[in-house]
Amino acid sequence: MEVIVAGDEGSARLDRVLAQHTPELSRSRLKALILAGSVTVKGASVRDPAYHVAKGDTITIDVPEAAPAEPQGEDIALDIVFEDDDIIVIDKPRGLVVHPAAGHATGTLVNALIAHCGSSLSGIGGVKRPGIVHRLDKDTTGLMVVAKNDQAHQSLTTQFADHGRTGPMQRGYMAFAWGVPNRPHGTIDAPIDRHPHAREKMAVRQGGRKAITHFEVRQSFAGRDGKPVASLLACQLETGRTHQIRVHLAHLGHPLLGDAVYGSHFKTKAGHLGPEAQAALTALDRQALHAYLLVLEHPRTGELLHWEAPLPEDLLLLQRALEAAL
């Protein structure tokens, strides 16, 4: 990166001149680069932030590419459902982010796994996502599998890419949704892509990536007026798009209870619930979605493995409160 001193910067100090010309770099970052010898003036290295430059001087900044921060192990409790030398299956709690990202550099599932599994995860699937082959949203609970070696990672990646279309893999979710679908079971086949205006959201869009969700109505719940107000759906994924179930059910007109992103326009529906159900929904404070079923082939033995995780306490309370109005 090169800067030509114009002479009208208001100060001749090297660090202040650079601050005016490179607003994308913080002052502390510029000072560190100068002290590290990464800044030259007229071809000579200058390590003094207070060095005075002159009009017409050429300043060159060597900004090294940022290396990805390697997550560190953290002592975070895990609810382990199954573990052997190849894989580990956990029942993820609400509030746990899967891997480090902007705003969540620590306290993630990856940090917990590194502490639990040690060096066996090193290099599998990348520095920031070691062993991760799928993920759940921060506030979605339920079953996740993680690879502990390269062979397991390759096998699981292949199985998740297929999503049970030709193999035995199954991923099942329990979803509490507003309203009751007009048929007992069905398939939502609608492409998903980034929302055109809200980049943090996904949306059903023509030209998006193929997305298929199968659903079955397990329970329906009546409101204070005796009319159906919500339902419990068992959903299975045939594809694995970001926020797929949340987007598809909202597209169907039955967004998840507690989903502030895709069901915000359904907030008034809460007024149709009984007082106990209203209190349970307020206490939930998250989307009512739980990954209850995971079926896959063991990556080494080929054995068919099947796990089911019961509803967590907050969703059990919601279910009981909804049933109490029946």
- Give catalytic residues, as residue numbers: 137
Asked whether the beta carbons of 141 and 278 are under 8 A apart, the reply is no
Q: Identify the bridge partners of residue 37 per DSSP, sorted by sequence position.
A: none
Angle between helices 313-324 and 275-284 (to 10 degrees): 160
Distance CA 36, CA 232 (A): 60
Q: Are strands 141-147 and 289-297 parallel, antiparallel or unpaired?
A: parallel
Distance CA 94, CA 287 (A): 10
Task: Give which of 89, 70, 100, 96 is closest to 147, Cα–Cα.
Answer: 89
Instruction: Determine the straight-line distance between the first and last CA of the chain, rounded to whole angstroms.
Output: 68
